[in-house]
Amino acid sequence: MRSVKTVFMAALATTLLAGTALAQDYPTKPVTVVVPFAAGGPTDTVARLVAQSMSKTLGQQVLIENVGGAGGTLGAARVAKSPNDGYTLLLHHIGHATAVALYRKLPYNALTDFQTIGLITDVPMTIVAKADLPPKTMAELIDYVKANKDKVSLANAGIGSASHLCGMMLMSALQTQATTVAYTGTGPAMNNLLGGQVDLMCDQTTNTTGQIKGGKIKAYSVTTLTKVPSLPDLPTADSAGLKGFEVAVWHGLYAPKGTAEPIVNKLNAALKVALKDPTVVQRFADLGTEPVPEAKIDPKAHEAFVKAEVDKWSPVIKAAGEYAD
Ligand code: MLT
């Protein structure tokens, strides 16, 4: 008669072996990457470029599912509650960290409900406006926004989005406020900026570069402390009247917590290949950004970075008095 312990150990070994075998065969079907903003925006652009390359490495389709709303928290919640089998991932940005301070009741824990896979890219932002907004320079825009206060409409992708964070910092710096208009992503917001239905937006170069170069929108500055090579005519906000103004939008890839290590390692390896893919690197450069250094494309480094960002932005957000229920 085999002891209970022997039977238990045998069952445990079988389960572990089965799990390892599943992980070793992974992926055996398409992988879904949830983008927590509408299609056509900057997060979607980064995700589709990375997914296209990861598909080649993984030998399975990597599909994008756009789940917009509530500044990216609806999409993040979807992945937090998904099976940890490696088939539902999240590609999110700085909003994953800022939501911790902005939302009083997040339906997930941004630090413990996810398994980090690696950081991807850090994207500059641009302060842009509809083509016929009167100010011609950043200095004129500062005066205009202050003089018109609530009459200026400011687009963002919801509380917790990068465009919301940048807009909040801009209004704090100008000691004024505007009328904010929230969209499910800055893809749809850009459509309204192009049509003149909204005045102003702070958005990532991955979404604004084409429209700026096409002369379809006005651009006043970039939000990095150094100029963006692909937008050489744009001054930094720091040098154009907003001393010290700096915000850039880092992006990372996540799986639900508890995802098996062999799967995490396979996804991390495919992400590293994608961020060396000449097509991805060139497209990133055309859009004002570049892959992060390889040392940051690491699950542990990514995890530590998110924690540090939560600690960094929480006091800034609390000082601005912004929150969402
Ligand atoms: C943001 O503002 O967080 C992003 O630009 C939203 C998006 O990617 O559409």
| 231 within domain boundaries | no
* Closest to 53 (Cα-Cα) out of 271, 250, 286: 271
* Residue 37, phi then psi, degrees to nearest 5: -145, 165
Same domain, 193 and 291: no
Q: Is 160 in the pocket of ligand 1 (CB under 6 A)?
A: no
Q: What is the pLDDT of residue 21?
A: 66
Q: Where do runs of H (alpha helix) occur along the chain?
A: 4-25, 42-58, 73-80, 95-102, 138-148, 162-174, 186-195, 205-213, 261-274, 278-286, 299-320
For the whole model, what pTM was predicted? 0.93
Ligand 1 pocket test: which of 198, 204, 209, 313 has the largest number of ligand atoms within 8 Å of its C-beta? 204
For the chain, the average pLDDT equals: 94
Q: Which residue among 222, 238, 263 closes a domain?
A: 222
Cα–ligand 1 centroid distance for 68 (angstroms): 10
Ligand 1 pocket test: which of 186, 205, 289 has the largest number of ligand atoms within 8 Å of its C-beta? 186
* Closest to 107 (Cα-Cα) out of 49, 56, 50, 36: 36
Q: Which atom of ligand 1 is nearest to the CA of 161?
A: 3
Same domain, 115 and 162: no
Cα–ligand 1 centroid distance for 139 (angstroms): 26
Q: Is 86 in the pocket of ligand 1 (CB under 6 A)?
A: no
| 208 within domain boundaries | yes
| 192 within domain boundaries | yes
Q: Which atom of ligand 1 is nearest to the CA of 44?
A: 8
**Segment holding 203, helix H or strand E:** strand 200-204
Q: Is 37 in the pocket of ligand 1 (CB under 6 A)?
A: yes
- Number of folded domains in the chain? 2
- Joined tokens for residue 267: 């996804």
Return the CATH number at 291: 3.40.190.150
Nearest 10 degrees: CA dihedral of 254, 259, 261, 267? -40
Q: What is the pLDDT of residue 85?
A: 97
Return the CATH number at 177: 3.40.190.10
Closest residue by CA, ligand 1 atom 8: 43
Task: Name 216's Cβ contacts closer than 8 Å, sequence gap at least 6.
Answer: 131, 194
Q: What is the pLDDT of residue 7?
A: 78
| 9 within domain boundaries | yes
Q: Are strands 248-256 and 114-130 parallel, antiparallel or unpaired?
A: antiparallel
Q: Which atom of ligand 1 is nearest to the CA of 188?
A: 9
Same domain, 217 and 263: no
Same domain, 254 and 118: yes
Q: Which residue among 205, 222, 239 closes a domain?
A: 222
- Note down the domain range covering 129: 124-222
- Joined tokens for residue 143: 């005066």
Q: Is 183 in the pocket of ligand 1 (CB under 6 A)?
A: no
Cα–ligand 1 centroid distance for 204 (angstroms): 8
Q: Which atom of ligand 1 is nearest to the CA of 43?
A: 8
* pLDDT bracket for residue 23 (50, 70, 90): confident
Task: Name 307's Cβ contacts closer than 8 Å, sequence gap at least 6.
Answer: 111
Residue 164 and residue 182: Cα distance in Å, rounded? 9
Q: What is the pLDDT of residue 320?
A: 76
Q: Is 203 in the pocket of ligand 1 (CB under 6 A)?
A: yes
Residue 252 and residue 116: Cα distance in Å, rounded? 8
Cα–ligand 1 centroid distance for 163 (angstroms): 6
| 230 within domain boundaries | no
| 39 within domain boundaries | yes
Residue 303 and residue 25: Cα distance in Å, rounded? 26
| 212 within domain boundaries | yes
Q: Are strands 62-66 and 31-35 parallel, antiparallel or unpaired?
A: parallel
Q: Which atom of ligand 1 is nearest to the CA of 72?
A: 3
Residue range 274-293, pLDDT digits in tens: 999 999 999 999 999 999 99
Q: Does the pLDDT of residue 266 top 80, yes or no?
A: yes
| 176 within domain boundaries | yes
Residue 201 and residue 13: Cα distance in Å, rounded? 56
Q: Does the pLDDT of residue 223 top 90, yes or no?
A: yes
Residue range 224-260, pLDDT digits in tens: 999 999 999 999 999 999 999 999 999 999 999 999 9
Q: Which residue among 222, 241, 273 closes a domain?
A: 222
